[in-house]
């Protein structure tokens, strides 16, 4: 497209001289992934960790987040441009949309940012922009003045510039195998900050209520089976005592209880499920469902405390099914991580994830 330059999007942050900001963060899924694959994905690790791209990106968006002119702090989205050597710049997309900025204006602002940060040697006369569809990844948990936020990272598109420009391509920042960028391409990321406190509380109580509701339903079902079994037992007892009066009642009952009907008298159960990640009622439902069917997963979970370590997700190299991670604990030990693979309706199978050290 031909460039039609417009005024870059700029805003002045609120002057808060009395504001003290205490910020800290813990590693999210993306950072842990990079650290675990330091030696197998060396370029990614060098670009994102050694060049401190993640640390600098967090610093930039937290500064904009705390000084933003908009009062709504529940969710903000920033467009982030960064080169592989650490240069970066952010644009508050939430503010731009609030000011009803056009898509062209937003693109022009990003191009201005690239020129100022020397990602581009000079302003282009034309370029192309290609959007990317990709799931966002949890980058970090941000603790800001006693509030808890989650920071997500996702590539959203890339600019392609003509060969007449000198371009510092950031193609090595791409962390998924579906796209290949060229030397004249610059990748654009979206960084989202979401307040998780109210959502965590709401989802926790939703999960608890779902577990309680499911437990009551299971108890009612088992009570119905129990009554049905005893009804059949009494009918058989009446038939046997009517046809053979010489047998004692005790002998007849002992004979009948040898039959499989006694296996139907199941004790009501409430699973001890503890979420070490974002509570998800779907996980609770799937665990109860698998426990109730008495399959292989039942044998794995029976009598154990279930620690849900990760929400339902897919790997960076996508697999056929999504999975969530759990550990099983009793009074003395805690197991390695198990991955429970799921579709929309049930748990399909599980694998054990073991770490072996020399």
Give the per-residue pLDDT at 198: 53
How many CA atoms within 13 Å lie on the side-chain side of 205?
5
The domain spans of the chain are 23-195, 271-358
Measure the CA–CA gap between 94 and 110, rounded to whole angstroms: 15
- Least Cα distance to 132 among 183, 104, 161, 171 occurs for 171
Residue 129: which residues within 8 A CB-CB, separation 6 or more? 1, 107, 157, 158, 159, 160
Give Cα 144 to chain centroid, integer Å.
21
Q: What is the pTM of this model?
A: 0.54
Strands (E), the chain: 23-27, 75-82, 88-92, 128-131, 137-144, 147-160, 185-195, 273-275, 305-313, 322-329, 337-342, 347-353
- Least Cα distance to 155 among 120, 195, 185, 194 occurs for 185
Q: Give pLDDT < 50 ranges for the chain.
A: 1-5, 11, 16-18, 246, 253, 256, 258-266, 357-358
Q: What is the CA radius of gyration of the chain?
A: 29
Strands (E), 293-357: 305-313, 322-329, 337-342, 347-353
Give the per-residue pLDDT at 294: 78
Question: What are the angstrom distances between the C-alpha of 211 and each of 59, 111, 202, 221, 275?
Answer: 40, 51, 14, 15, 12
Give the per-residue pLDDT at 266: 47
Q: 310 φ, ψ to 5°?
A: -145, 150
Measure the CA–CA gap between 8 and 12, rounded to whole angstroms: 13
pLDDT tens column, 308-326? 988 888 765 556 788 898 9
pLDDT tens column, 281-290? 888 888 888 8
- Total number of residues shown for the chain: 358
């Amino acid at each position: 497209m031909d460039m039609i330059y417009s005024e870059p999007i700029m805003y002045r942050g609120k002057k808060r001289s009395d504001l003290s900001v205490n910020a800290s963060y813990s590693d999210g899924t993306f950072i842990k992934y990079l650290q675990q694959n330091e030696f197998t994905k060396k370029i990614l690790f060098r670009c994102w960790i050694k060049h401190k791209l993640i640390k600098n990106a967090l610093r930039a968006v937290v500064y904009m987040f705390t000084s933003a002119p908009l009062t709504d702090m529940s969710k903000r989205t920033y467009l982030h441009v960064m080169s592989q050597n650490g240069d970066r710049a952010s644009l508050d997309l939430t503010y731009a949309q609030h000011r009803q900025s056009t898509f062209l204006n937003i693109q022009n602002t990003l191009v201005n940012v690239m020129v100022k940060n020397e990602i581009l040697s000079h302003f282009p006369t034309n370029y192309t922009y290609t959007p990317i569809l990709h799931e966002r990844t949890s980058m970090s948990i941000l603790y800001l003045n006693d509030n808890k936020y989650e920071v997500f990272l996702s590539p959203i598109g890339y600019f392609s510039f003509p060969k007449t420009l000198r371009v510092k391509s950031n193609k090595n920042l791409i962390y998924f195998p579906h796209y290949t960028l060229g030397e004249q391409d610059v990748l654009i990321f979206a960084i989202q900050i979401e307040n998780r406190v109210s959502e965590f509380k709401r989802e926790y109580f939703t999960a608890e209520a779902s577990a309680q509701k499911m437990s009551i339903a299971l108890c009612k079902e088992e009570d119905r089976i129990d009554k049905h079994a005893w009804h059949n037992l009494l009918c058989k007892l009446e038939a046997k005592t009517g046809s053979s009066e010489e047998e004692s009642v005790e002998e007849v009952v002992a004979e009948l209880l040898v039959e499989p009907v006694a296996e139907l008298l199941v004790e009501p159960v409430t699973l001890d499920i503890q979420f070490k990640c974002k509570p998800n009622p779907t996980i609770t439902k799937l665990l109860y469902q698998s426990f109730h069917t008495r399959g292989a997963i039942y044998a794995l979970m029976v009598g154990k405390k279930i620690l849900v370590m990760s929400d339902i997700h897919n790997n960076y190299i996508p697999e056929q099914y999504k999975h969530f991670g759990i550990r099983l604990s009793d009074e003395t030990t805690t197991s390695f991580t198990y991955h429970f693979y799921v579709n929309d309706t049930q748990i399909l199978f599980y694998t054990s994830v073991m770490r072996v050290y020399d």
